[in-house]
Structure 1
Amino acid sequence: MTEDIDTRELFHRYEGNPILAASDFPEMMNAAFNPGAVMFEGETLLLVRLEQRSGLSQLAVATSADGRTGWTIDPDRVLIPETGSFAEYWGIEDPRITKVGDEYLILYTGYSAGGTVICLAVTRDFRTFDRRGVIMSPEDKDAALFPTTFGGRWALIHRPAPATAELGSHIWLSWSPDMKHWGDAKVLVPARRGGWWDANRVGLGPPPMLTDQGWLVCYHGVRTTVSGSIYRLGLALLDRDHPDQVLLRGNEWVFGPSTPYERSGDVPDVVFPCGWILREDGDTIDMYYGAADSTVCLASASLADLLEHLQRHPCTESTDLRHRRRASSMVPPQVD
C-alpha cells in the first residue's frame, strides 16, 4: 500500500483510450459503449452495447488477448433484440455477465414498450444464447447476479425506478430460489440527498466482486446540476455471507469524467462501467466502461487500494430511508 493513497487517483486510464468505437464494428453504428466483461477461453471478452443509427441497441462480442489491443470482432457473435418481443421492442442494453459453473449468465436491460425490464440470457460459448425472458418487470434496470447462492437462494442487485423522480432511485437487492421468482426485496444502497455526488440516483456498475473482506460493489451515482447530470463512481462493501448487509459505503466518488472523450459525446459527463476483471496477480482490476455513451474505455486500479480507500473514507452520515423521510422537509433545494 502506498502512503499517498489520499492524494492520487485510484483508477488509471489506459493511455490508448478509447479502446473500441462504433467504427471498429462491421455494421454502421452510432455508438459502442457500456460493455459487460469476462475472461473466456484465456481472452478478455467484452459484450458491447451497439447503438444503431435508428436509436435501438444490440449486443456484440469483442475479444482481445491482452484486454487492451488487437480486438477481434466476429459479426456472427451477436445478441440482437428478439423479433416480436414486447420486452425488447426498442432494443437491449447494458449487459452484466456472471459466470456460474460452465455457464455465463447475462442480465441486460430490455427496452420494452412498457418501460425498461431486466432480462436473462444464458450461454456457454457466446455464440448461442438461451433467452430466459423477463425476470423483473418495469421500470427496472442496472442488474447483476452473484455467482453463488446464499442459503439456497440467488441474490440479485437491481435498480427499480420510483414513482416520481423526487423520491430518488435506489439500489435494491432481491432473492429467488430459481432465478425466476423474485421477492424479499430491500433497499441496499439508497441515493443520498442535497449536495452529495450521488444525490439523485444510484445504480450498479459491474457485478459484485468477491474479496477477502466481502463483496466489493462499484456503483454509479448521479448528481444533477444546472448544466446537466454528472455520472461518477463510488464503492461499497457487502457482507460475504449476507450480501443484503452493507459493511461500508464510501464517502467520496473514486472515478469521474474528466477527459474529452468522457465529457463530450452523445451523453456528456458520463463514465458507466458494466464489467471488470480481476487479473491473475490477484490485485489488478481492469474496469471497462462506456464514456459519454459513445465509446468503450479502460481504467485500472489496485484491489488493495480500493479496499483501503473504503476503510479510510467510510460514509458517516445516516442513509437510512426512514431518516431521509423525517429530514426531507429540512433539505434545501439544490441550486448548483
Structure 2
Amino acid sequence: MKKVFAKKDIFTRYSGNPIITVYDIPYSANAVFNAGAIKYKNEYLLLLRVEDRQGKSHLTVARSSDGKTNWKIEKSPLIYPQPTVFIYEEFGCEDPRITYIPEDDYYYITYTAYSRYGPAVALARTKNFKKVEKMGLIYPPNNKDAVLFPEKINGRYAMLHRPVAGDIEHIWIAYSSDLIHWGNHEVVLVEKGGPWWDGFKVGAGAVPIKTPEGWLIIYHGVKMMPSGPIYRLGAALLDLENPAKVKKRCPEWLLSPQEVYERIGDVNNVVFTCGAIVEDNQIYLYYGAADSCIALAFAKIDQILSILIEGDLQVK
C-alpha cells in the first residue's frame, strides 16, 4: 500500500488571519487566544479566553455570521473568576471547550480553573450563552485540556483530559453517568519522547469529531527545543465504541507555527486549538497563536483521514 504523507501543513490558513486580536476586545485586556467554538442559532460562536491586564483570564462570547469576519464581542465575560464563591478559579478561567449534548439540550463548557492550588478542570453549562451555571470541579490539580465527547458512548458521558504526574503528561479518557463523578480512567495517547514533534507532552484540543472511521481528535503536541517549547497540532483516530483504543495516529503534524503572529507573542511558537466547527466535509479550526491572538485554518476531513489511514501506523 502506498504511504501517504503531508508535504506541507494540511490546514490552510485563512488569508485574513489573525481574525481576532486584543484590539477587537471592547474593554481593557492584554491578549485573546484559545477559544472554544460551536455553531449556535446559525451563527459561529467563539468563547474567547481573554487575559486582563492583571494577568488573569476570563471567557467572553464572540459571534460572527460567516465564522471569519465581523466578530461581535460581548462587553462583559460569560465566565469569570469569582474567588469568594469558588476559590479554585481565583487566578483565572482558561482554555474553554464547548460541547453540545442533544439528549440533554445543554451546551457544556469545560475549562481550566486556575488557583494557588494549581490548574484543575471545571464544568459549566448553558442553554443560551447569556446565563451560565457553574457545576464545579470535576478533576483536581494538576489537570487540564479536558474535552467532552458530543454524545454518550455505551450509555455514559466520555471525556478526554490530561493529568500531570511529574514530567508525564499524556491524554487520558474517563467516563461518567452524571457528569460529576468520573471513573474507568485509561491512557489514550502518550508523548513519544525523543526527537518527535510531540515527544515532550500531548493534550486534547477540539471536541472529537465523529466519522465513519472513528473519532477524529485534533491534539496539540510539544517538542522541547533549546530556545523553548514548540506547540504544534496533530491528529489521531479513536475507536467509536472504545475511544481508549487508538486506531491510527498521524506521524507528522498538521499545523505548525510559521507565520509571524504564530511565532512571536506572549508565548512564542504556539498554535493551540480549543475549538473546531465542521460544515459538510470541512473543518473550521480556531486556534490561539503565540498566546496573543486568534487565527483560523481550514482542512477537509477526508484529507486528514486519508493521511491517518494510509500513513504509517503509530499507536500509543
Q: TM-score range by the shorter chain?
A: over 0.9
Q: Partner of 1:29 in structure 2?
A: 29
1:100-139 matches, cutoff 5 A: 100-101=101-102, 102-139=105-142
1:313-332 matches, cutoff 5 A: 313-316=311-314, 319=316
1:130-209 matches, cutoff 5 A: 130-162=133-165, 164-165=166-167, 168-209=168-209
Q: Partner of 2:260 in structure 1?
A: 260
Q: CA deviation at 1:83?
A: 3.6
Classify the secondary structure of the residue corresponding to 2:75.
strand
Q: CA deviation at 1:292?
A: 0.1
Mapped to 2, the partners of 1:309 and 1:42 lie a distance apart of 31
- Conservation of the 8 A alpha-carbon contact between 1:77 and 1:126: no
Q: Which stretch of structure 1 is more off in the superposition, 87-96 or 236-245? A: 236-245
CA offset digits 1:102-155 (Å, max 9, x no partner): 210000000022111100000011010011000001100000111211222111
CA offset digits 1:281-322 (Å, max 9, x no partner): x11110000000000000000111010011122334x63xxx
Q: Partner of 1:7 in structure 2?
A: 7
Q: CA deviation at 1:71?
A: 0.7
- Conservation of the 8 A alpha-carbon contact between 1:76 and 1:127: no
Q: Which stretch of structure 1 is more off in the superposition, 232-241 or 78-87? A: 78-87
CA offset digits 1:239-285 (Å, max 9, x no partner): 11211111111111111000000000000000001000011xx1111
Q: CA deviation at 1:76?
A: 4.2
Mapped to 1, the partners of 2:6 and 2:277 lie a distance apart of 24
Q: Partner of 1:211 in structure 2?
A: 211
Q: Partner of 1:233 in structure 2?
A: 233
Classify the secondary structure of the residue corresponding to 1:75.
coil
Mapped to 1, the partners of 2:232 and 2:25 lie a distance apart of 28
Mapped to 2, the partners of 1:20 and 1:135 lie a distance apart of 31
Q: Which amino acid aligns with 2:236?
A: A
TM-score w.r.t. length of structure 1: 0.90
- Conservation of the 8 A alpha-carbon contact between 2:5 and 2:311: no
Q: Which amino acid aligns with 2:124?
A: A
Classify the secondary structure of the residue corresponding to 1:252.
coil
Mapped to 1, the partners of 2:193 and 2:174 lie a distance apart of 24
Q: Which amino acid aligns with 2:173?
A: L
Classify the secondary structure of the residue corresponding to 2:78.
strand
Classify the secondary structure of the residue corresponding to 1:305.
helix
Pick from 284, 288, 291: which aligns with 1:290? 288
Q: Which amino acid aligns with 1:132?
A: M
Q: CA deviation at 1:81?
A: 1.2
CA offset digits 1:163-217 (Å, max 9, x no partner): x22xx31000011111111111111001111111111100001010111111100
Which has the higher Rg, Structure 1 or Structure 2? 1
Q: Partner of 1:50 in structure 2?
A: 50
Q: Which amino acid aligns with 2:199?
A: A
- Conservation of the 8 A alpha-carbon contact between 1:205 and 1:275: yes
Q: Which amino acid aligns with 1:96?
A: R
TM-score w.r.t. length of structure 2: 0.95
Mapped to 2, the partners of 1:6 and 1:75 lie a distance apart of 42
Number of equivalences: 311
Mapped to 2, the partners of 1:228 and 1:40 lie a distance apart of 38
- Conservation of the 8 A alpha-carbon contact between 2:56 and 2:91: yes
- Conservation of the 8 A alpha-carbon contact between 2:150 and 2:207: no
Mapped to 2, the partners of 1:6 and 1:187 lie a distance apart of 27
Match status 1:271 vs 2:261: no
Q: Give the alignment's Cα RMSD to 1 decimal.
A: 1.4
Q: Percent identity?
A: 44
